[in-house]
Structure 1
Amino acid sequence: MATDNITAVNAPNLFIDATNGIRYAYRRFGKSGGVPLILMQHFRGNLDFWDNALLDAFAAEREIIAFDNTGVAATSGKTPDNVRQMARDAISFIEALKFETVDILGFSLGGFVAQDVTLLRPYLVRKLILAGTGPQGGPGMHGWVKDIADAARKADSGGAELAYIMFKGTPTSQAKGQEYLGRFMARRTDRDAGGTLQTRDAQYDAVVDWGIPDHSKLQRLAAIEQPTFVASGDDDRMLPPRLAYIMAGLIPNAQIKIYPDAAHGFLWQHHREFAADVNSFLG
């Protein structure tokens, strides 16, 4: 599929039917050939929440595919309330595109899903990036701290809540948050469908279930043999960087980087540096 002349702002909304009966919405563009990079999105996020500047930097070196999982935004079905089913649905999407090998970048909740996809289909995944996420059963993950949870779960959550959750309270980080919001609104036409409260509630149930403390579940990470890049902001209050250190310590072939003066949205704030790090890792 020729995608070289498409950017994040003008990438068309595409649809594909999978064998599980779900019609997935996705965007696909970038440098053709090689192993594609599949992007798995955060809590309540849709195709438009990916940072355009970050995606274009990825796409300069490889083909990228962002998608809405089951029940999210323009994808059909009902959002499941557990990560395992989300992972199986993501596998169905990848299979519908006829890929035999992929790289995966999972952000936040998408990182939970990416871990399960890699564990369920290890032969499918070549390399793995886990951004702002945590391991199943990890300490301090059973839901989010109250102010973060209240902002994230607010029915009419908007730019103010996004800036509060995703960016550190420093002037420099908050300024970067406003820059991201400007890029977020750069796409004027063919924007993705909005999320639903059913998706919000199901995804939060999945987050809480994943975070039930269980030391034994941490041992699952030892089965991820793929080269893995673990990344976090130094002041992520949603999924603290200590979780990144746990994952990097338990995944046999992992490397880690903590980005300064940054919170959960470090990959948007440090989009140039993070893109360069990911492209180097995948290359």
Structure 2
Amino acid sequence: MATLETKQGALEFTTGDGVRIAYRLDGSVDKPVLLLANSIATSMDMWEGQAARLKEHFRLLRYDYRGHGGSDTPAGPYSLDRLGRDAVELLDALRIDRVHFLGLSLGGIVAQWVAIHAPERIDRLILSNTAAHLGSPELWEGLIASVLKPGSMPETAESFMKNWFPSSMLTPDNPIVKSFREMVLATRPQGIAGSWAAIRDMDLRRTASLIDRPTLVIAGEQDPVTLPEHGELLAKTIPGAELLVLPSAHLPNVEMESAFIEEVTAFLRRL
């Protein structure tokens, strides 16, 4: 698995099925590694606002899903098994045995898969604004068909903004919302459609009970995507899991950055 320099200091490795995945590894080598996994239709830059404070305590490993950011976009659909193996193969390529794993939205689904199938790779687990199962296949089929229509990305981006941020942030001059809109518009439609197919086909409502890592589940009171009850179900299913409900929409790492970082850091550094 070759590693080489790419744009803006990112690196690449090649997965077992020949897909180049972009990643970054930042911070002091004497700190524990924290693997961050993103929401769908974003890149590893989703965590840029929180990176400086998190690096005070952790060495940060970020990466772009296939079809996202600086990674390749193979033909879809994608499977959760493949997305999970991408994360495990990244750790293999870097010879990292264990990490803390923080996954948000789709990242939380990938993190669940890794915790179920490769629990020895995880120390502590944080599942933020995510679910073990999300809606009927018909819902996702409609979304997949819509995003693959030519010229659909501006409408798709606006839909994401309304789902991710509270109305108070959705102003024309908000630089945070603007940066996230640009991330969505830079994502290839096939990357979004392929990842939605993985969500369409996944159901971890029973297998999540196999997770034996210390786990914190974070939910948003006003999250219209992964509802508070999705987080409540996850916390009930995973033995010993803790539940934290924040007064946020879908991206508490952005909307409530200080509170989010404080809670994450406290959980991950707990003896």
With structure 2 as the length reference, what TM-score do the two structures score? 0.82
| Structure 1 residue 157: Cα displacement | 4.9
Moved over 6 A (4+): 143-146
CA distance in 2 between partners of 1:77 and 1:159 (Å): 19
Paired residues in the alignment total 255
For residues 124-147 of structure 1, give each alpha carbon's deviation from its aligned partner in whole angstroms, at most 9, with x where no partner exists.
Answer: 1111110110013xxx6336989x
Q: Is the partner of 1:123 in helix, strand or coil?
A: helix
User: Which residue of structure 2 aligns with residue 276 of structure 1?
Assistant: 262
2:114 corresponds in structure 1 to: 117
Q: Which runs of 5+ in 2 are unaligned?
A: 1-6
Q: What is residue 4 of structure 2 aligned with on the other side?
A: none
> How far is 1:248 from its partner?
0.6
RMSD after superposition: 3.1
> Which residue number corresponds to residue 204 of structure 1?
196
Per mean C-alpha deviation after superposition, the further-off stretch among 18-27 and 126-135 is 18-27
Contact 1:144/1:238, CA 8 A, preserved across alignment: no
Distance 1:184 1:156, change over 3 A: closer
Q: TM-score, normalised by structure 1?
A: 0.79
- Alpha-carbon distance in structure 2 between the residues aligned to 1:268 and 1:21: 33
Question: Which piece of structure 1 moves more, 96-105 or 74-83?
Answer: 74-83
Q: Is the 8 A contact 2:77 2:193 kept in 1?
A: no
Question: Kindly, what percent of the aligned residue pairs are identical?
Answer: 22
Equivalent runs, 1:78-97 vs 2, <5 Å: 78=74, 80-97=77-94
Structure 1 letter corresponding to 2:83: M
SS of alignment partner, residue 156 of structure 1 = helix
Amino acid at match of 2:60: I
Q: Which amino acid aligns with 1:281?
A: F
Q: Structure 1 21/81 Cα, relative in aligned 2: closer, same or farther at 3 Å?
A: closer
AA paired with 2:187? Answer: G
Among candidates 2, 12, 21, match of residue 18 of structure 2: 21
Q: In the alignment, is residue 45 of structure 1 matched against residue 42 of structure 2?
A: yes
SS in 1 for 2:57: coil
Match among 140, 164, 167 for residue 166 of structure 1: 164
Aligned to 2:136: 142
- Residue 66 of structure 2 corresponds to 70
Once residues 144 and 40 of structure 1 are traced to their aligned partners in structure 2, the CA distance between those partners, rounded to angstroms, is 26
Distance of 2:13 and 2:196 partners within structure 1: 26
SS in 1 for 2:120: coil
Cα pair 1:109 1:133 within 8 Å, conserved: yes
- What SS does structure 1 have at the residue aligned with 2:25? strand
Residue 259 of structure 1, CA deviation: 1.0
- Which whole-Å CA distance do the structure 2 matches of 1:200 and 1:17 have between them? 20
Taking structure 1 as reference, are residues 227 and 179 closer, same or farther at Cα in structure 2, changes over 3 Å only?
farther
Kept after mapping to 2: 8 A contact 1:19/1:96: no
1:174 CA displacement: 4.2
- What is the SS of the residue equivalent to 1:28? strand
Deviation at 1:103, TM superposition (A): 1.1
| Contact 1:104 1:129 (C-alpha < 8 Å) held by counterparts | yes
Which of 223, 231, 235 is the equivalent residue of 2:218?
A: 231
Normalized per residue, which structure has more helix? 2
Which 5+ residue runs of structure 1 have no aligned equivalent?
Answer: 1-9, 212-216
CA contact (8 A) 2:170 2:177 kept: no
